[in-house]
Structure 1
Amino acid sequence: MGALQGQQPKIVRDFLIYLTTIKGKSMRTRKEYEYDLMLFFRFLKVTYEGLEVEQISEVSIHDLTIETIREISLEDIYLFIEYCESVRDNSASARARKVATLKSFFKYLKGKRRLISDNIAEELESPKLSKRNPIYMNLEEAKCFLGGIERNHHYYRNYCMMMFFLNLGLRVSELCSLKMNSIQGQALRITGKGDKERTVYLNKACRDSLSDYLKNERIKVHKAETLDYLFLSQKGTKLTRQQVARIVKKINEQSGLRKDKLTPHKLRHTSATIMYKSGADIRSLQQILGHSNISTTQIYTHLEDKEIQQVIDNNPFNF
């Protein structure tokens, strides 16, 4: 993304500040919106001024005005989306994100700032996304995965993290942000998306693995008692999302499971799926996973075709 960073036009900067301070979006989401908008306005400048599209990353848009934005048509946006697909080779999901960014931006300009009278992006359609088969592990695969945790000096930390993923369905950003004071007796206070807090119960597997980690590993980190974050690197620093992703990848390989594209997010998916199949109701799952919308939770509650068939076969009217 770095090639497209540069001096932001004031209207873009105002919108990005609104996203984080009012809408509660994360800095990661803000960066994605920034990238999309900077690319869009640079593309328009290249198009309007007949410049070479290969130089798009060098185009300055610091002088963008609201008058220029008022001149943008729906066709300009479709042309941009076509450019993202044919030249930048963006997937349907990547293009859908750009559509969502532009819809949000133009809605802000009209509804919040009243700088435009017509929201051209209101009727903008999102690219059709193909339904992907969700990647998750069944219970036996998850046990095999856990067996791949290397018994090195980070064994207790890595085992505890995997227990938190598989039992609590944490997001990787939530796991990395856990602090010592997040532990509240037999519960865990989690700060999720948009700084929304939720509390989840620590079951025996989580409590035992946490106790082992604190007693056998974390205590040995230099000046551990002065450090805030729960899960620490060898240097005593907060683990990054990338570091955790590498740990998951290594465990996947060493377990012999070698599940395709297994990431920390897929462990969250595994947790939710197994809980649902074990009888958890969708409202409880929504609370555990920290979803603001229950339709998001429903993505995690897919059933195999054979299970759906079994439900139909077991219908009392099937006589």
Structure 2
Amino acid sequence: MQSDKTCPILEQYLAYLLTIKDRSQNTILEYRMDLLQFFRFVANQRNIAGSSFQFADAVFIRSIQLSDIYSFIAYHQETLHNSPGTRCRKIVSIRQFWKHLKSKAHIIDNNIAEELETPKLPKRIVRYMTLEESVRLLIETGSSSIRDNCIITIFLNCALRLSELAALNVDQVDSDVLTVVGKGNKERKIYLTPAVKQSLSKWLPIRNAMSVGTNALFISRNHQRLTTRSIQNVVKKHIAASGINPVGLSTHKLRHTSATLMYKYGHVDIRSLQQILGHESIATTEIYTHVDDNQLHAAVNANPLAMMFN
């Protein structure tokens, strides 16, 4: 984690997120960027010169008003034309930091950001593969690459994140269970389907016959762990080879597809799906519970009054 020693209050907060809250490096970087941007914006508004952030001390932070936060968000909307999602993240960064300043660091007495609302995010129809497209992708990889077929099979059966699949080691694979280390180093177990077991039974003998210096489950031609970028390229290549429209599809959409197929065809309850996906909030899991036109048609026809007509 990079360090900005000229802003110790912020660094203490980021260290707290890293060591106590166990936040990821990406989260730390985003919080640092958002909060330093906010400090610089306020400094520019007040004609405070200097390339460092030595001015961002306790006195400076206590002087910040709610109107400064609104001006900062308005600047990102009207001048920088940031998306609602980006503005929402910046508000969350500020709100969480001010919460910490009051409840943990005891630097402020009044949390001006406590009631700060986030912008309403537009609801979008998220792209995911249909069952037919998923079958086509599995058939294509099955006939072209044992390793790649195993990767795609795990994505579509276990609903892993890209980072989770890339980090898999051989010793995380048991006869019936896959042990996954997800966000925040939280461990969860996913039961292997027959399809995953079969794909692993084909790939592991090939992988174990290679002379490699890594415990990685998936390795490259150079006998190194496959990077996330390499896995993304594998997925992109096979989607194109399968004749599937690639627009809007990615490794994350394979996870999305897996969760959607479990919910739609397996009648998996939302709580079980939450555990499989490794979500802290069930609200995040609900994104994956699509309702298609056939389900809507069946729902209205299930009304006991549906057949009451002359």
Same fold (TM over 0.5): yes
Closer, same or farther in 2 for the Cα pair 1:151/1:31, shift >3 Å? farther
Q: Where does residue 151 of structure 2 map in the other structure?
A: 161
Alpha-carbon displacement from aligned partner over 1:22-41 (angstroms, at most 9, x marks no partner): 22211111111111112111
The Cα of 1:240 is off from its aligned counterpart by: 2.6
Tell me what 2:179 maps to. Answer: 189
Which of 11, 16, 19 matches 1:18? 16
Residue 306 (structure 1) shift: 3.6
Structure 1 residue 309, shift from structure 2 partner: 2.7
**Structure 1 stretch 199-208 or stretch 307-316: which is displaced more?**
307-316
**Deviations 1:96-124 (Å, cap 9, x if unpaired)?**
01111111100000111111011111121
Q: Secondary structure at the match of 2:113?
A: helix
Structure 2: state its 5+ residue gaps. none
In the alignment, which residue of structure 1 is the partner of 2:281?
293
* Corresponding residue number in structure 2 for 1:121: 113
User: Which segment is superposed worse, 253-262 or 263-272?
Assistant: 253-262
How high is the TM-score relative to the length of structure 2? Answer: 0.91
Which range moves more in the overlay, 94-103 or 296-305? 296-305
Q: Distance in 2 between matches of 1:234 and 1:89?
A: 43
Aligned residue-pair number? 305
Does the CA-based 8 Å contact 1:148-1:256 persist in structure 2?
Answer: no
Asked whether the equivalents of residues 146 and 251 of structure 1 are also in contact (C-alpha less than 8 Å), the reply is no
- Relative to the length of structure 1, the TM-score reads 0.89
Match of 1:146 among 138, 152, 158: 138
- Comparing 169-178 and 237-246, the one that deviates more: 237-246
CA contact (8 A) 2:142 2:149 kept: no
Aligned to 1:55: none
Q: CA deviation at 1:238?
A: 2.5
Deviations 1:74-131 (A, max 9, x none): 1111111122223333111011011111111000001111110111111211111100
| 1:97 alignment partner in structure 2 | 89
Q: Distance in 1 between matches of 2:305 and 2:6?
A: 64
Aligned mate of 1:76, from 58, 68, 76: 68
Q: Flag structure 1 segments of 5+ consecutive residues without an equivalent.
A: 52-57
Question: In structure 2, what is the Cα distance between the partners aligned to 1:7 and 1:232?
Answer: 39
CA offsets per residue over residues 134-173 of structure 1, 9 Å max, x none?
Answer: 1111100112233443966xx2221111111100000111
- Cα separation, 2, equivalents of 1:261 and 1:98: 25
Structure 1 window deviating more from structure 2 (234-243 vs 31-40): it is 234-243
Give me the whole-angstrom Cα distance separating, in 2, the residues matched to 1:68 and 1:267: 46
Note the 1:130-279 alignment, pairs <5 A.
Answer: 130-149=122-141, 155-216=145-206, 218-221=207-210, 223-224=211-212, 226-278=213-265, 279=267
Measure how far apart 1:63 and its partner are. 4.1
Matched letter for residue 268 of structure 2: A
Q: CA deviation at 1:6?
A: 5.6
The code of the aligned residue for 1:219 comes to N
Aligned: 1:87 with 2:79: yes
The whole-number CA distance in structure 1 between the counterparts of 2:136 and 2:78 is 42
